[in-house]
Amino acid sequence: MSIDATLRLLAKARGLSATDIATAIPRAGAATVSAWLRGEKLPGKDQLDALARTFGVPAGALLAELARTLDPARTQGEHDLLAAYRALNTRQQGALLEVSRSMAGTRATRRKP
């Protein structure tokens, strides 16, 4: 989930408006917070820390998807494959893993449900 989607979800869950959030964030007005919620801007480190405190979550939870997106070790194909995998249901994910493991010649490891 993108950072803007995460922020919107957290704001909705806590019943907070952009104005409400802005009051807890140093040097951020409601217009800036609205831009974060729309995905037009990214908050800085200090602002992320304040957002995390406001929502009661670890700052890393806000950045998890962004960090995965920017992972320089992954190729575009790997990002595309991961996005496609996440769009599948559990049964389809299992089938895809079996196929990919057989293609790679690796042994399948079963996860317990």
Cα separation of 111 and 81, whole Å? 20
Task: Tell which wins on pLDDT, 104 or 75.
Answer: 104
DSSP states of 10-23: HHHHHT--HHHHHT
What is the architecture, at CATH level 2, of domain 3-69? Orthogonal Bundle (1.10)
Boundaries of every domain in the chain: 3-69, 74-113
Q: What is the pLDDT of residues 45-75, one digit of tens each?
A: 889 899 999 998 888 888 766 555 555 666 7
Instruction: Give the chain's count of helices (H) and strands (E).
Output: 7, 0
Q: pLDDT tier at 78 (50, 70, 90 boundaries)?
A: confident
Task: Please check whether residue 65 is in contact with residue 2, taking contact to mean a CB–CB distance below 8 angstroms.
Answer: yes
Task: Please check whether residue 11 is in contact with residue 17, taking contact to mean a CB–CB distance below 8 angstroms.
Answer: yes
Amino acid at 63: L
Q: What is the pLDDT of residues 9-59, one digit of tens each?
A: 899 999 999 999 999 888 889 999 999 999 999 888 889 899 999 998 888
Give pLDDT, residue 85: 85
User: What's the distance, Cα to Cα, between the start and end of the chain in Å?
Assistant: 23
Cα separation of 16 and 113, whole Å? 36
Cα separation of 92 and 85, whole Å? 8
